[in-house]
Structure 1
Amino acid sequence: MATVAGLLSKGAVLSYKDSSGSKTIAAVKSIPAMGADPEKVDVTHLGSDKKAYIAGIQDSDNLEFAIIYQGDNFKDIDTLVKAGKAVEWTVTYSDGMKVDFTGQPSYKFDGVEVNQALGFNLVVVVSAGPNFTPASH
C-alpha cells in the first residue's frame, strides 16, 4: 500500500439519510473536529502513591457545520429541524474515509456585514457515534 503524504479537505461531503436514500448538503464550508475525549474516572485508593485514572465514557460535543446559504440547502435543513427527529449523518472525505453519526439537527444564522456571503451553522446534537470507517484501498 502506498503511503499518503496527506489529504486535502477539498471534496469532503456531508450527507444525511431520509426515506428516499442519501442526500448531500450543498455548500458546506467547514466540518468540525470529529470524535471525543473520554472523561477520566478517578480510581485512586488509600494505598495509592499517586492519583490513578481509567478512561470513562466519551462525551460527544455538538457538531457545528458552517454552510453557505443557497436557499434550497437551507430548506432541506429546515425540513429536518421541523421534523424534530434524530437523523443519520455521514461525512465522507475525498479518499473514501467515512464518519457516521446520529443526531438531532438545529441551525443558527451568522451575523451579516456589507459585502459578505450569508451563512448558517447546522448544529447536530449527537446521540450515537461518531464511528470511523477507514478508506478501503
Structure 2
Amino acid sequence: MPGLLSKDTTLSVKSGTGGAYKVLEHLMEVPEMGGDPEKVEVTTLSDGVKKYINGVKDLGDLSFKFLYDNEKVDSNYRVLKALQDANTKASYKVEYPDGTGHEFEAYVNVKMDSAAVNAAMTFSAGMSLQSDITVTNPTP
C-alpha cells in the first residue's frame, strides 16, 4: 500500500544567485502547494449554459509554521527575519521524504504566533510568491 509520512519534510532557502540551499530547522507545518485557476466566463448570447475557461492560477500566500529558535546567528527565525528586514527575494525549496520538491521565489514576512500557558513558542513565515512553483519528481 503506497503512502508517505510527512516526517523529514524540509524547507530550505538560498538568497542571491548560485550557492546551495540551507535547510531551515524546526519546521512544523507546510501549506498546500499549488493553486486553482480562476474561472473566466466566456458565455455567449447563443449558449444555453454558462461556459468557462481557466484563467490565471492564484497560488495565494504560503504560510509555514516553525518552532521558534533565535539562539544563534543562523537560527531559523534570524535567517528569515533578516530576509524580511532587507526586503530580499529568496529562493525556497520544500522537499518531501520521497525526494519530490517544490521550488519557488518569494518575499518572506515573519510573525510570532500567539503564546499560551504550557505551549511551545512558534512563528509563521508567510511567503509572497514571485514565481510559479516548479515541481521536481524523485529520481529512482
Normalised to the residue count of structure 1, the TM-score between the two structures is 0.93
> How far has the Cα of 1:42 moved from its partner?
0.4
Q: Quick one: which amino acid aligns to residue 42 of structure 2?
A: V
Note the residue ranges of structure 2 that are not aligned, 5 or more in a row: none
Which of 70, 74, 77 in structure 1 is aligned with 2:77?
Answer: 74
Structure 2 match to 1:103 = 106
Distance, in Å, in 2 between the alignment partners of 1:61 and 1:18 is: 22
Distance, in Å, in 2 between the alignment partners of 1:129 and 1:66 is: 21
Distance, in Å, in 2 between the alignment partners of 1:42 and 1:121 is: 36
Residue aligned with 2:21, SS: strand
Q: Quick one: which amino acid aligns to residue 23 of structure 2?
A: T
Structure 2 match to 1:45 = 44
Distance, in Å, in 1 between the alignment partners of 2:111 and 2:43 is: 43
Residues 1-137 of structure 1 aligned to structure 2 (within 5 Å): 5-19=2-16, 20-71=19-70, 72-137=75-140
Normalised to the residue count of structure 2, the TM-score between the two structures is 0.91
Which segments of structure 1 move beyond 3 Å, counting only runs of 4 or more?
A: none
> How far has the Cα of 1:131 moved from its partner?
1.6
Distance, in Å, in 2 between the alignment partners of 1:77 and 1:85 is: 10
Moved more, 17-26 or 83-92: 17-26
How many residue pairs were aligned? 134
Note the residue ranges of structure 1 that are not aligned, 5 or more in a row: none
Distance, in Å, in 2 between the alignment partners of 1:45 and 1:18 is: 48
Equivalent pair of 2:15/2:89 in contact (CA under 8 Å): no
Residue aligned with 1:54, SS: strand
Distance, in Å, in 2 between the alignment partners of 1:21 and 1:83 is: 20
> How far has the Cα of 1:69 moved from its partner?
0.5
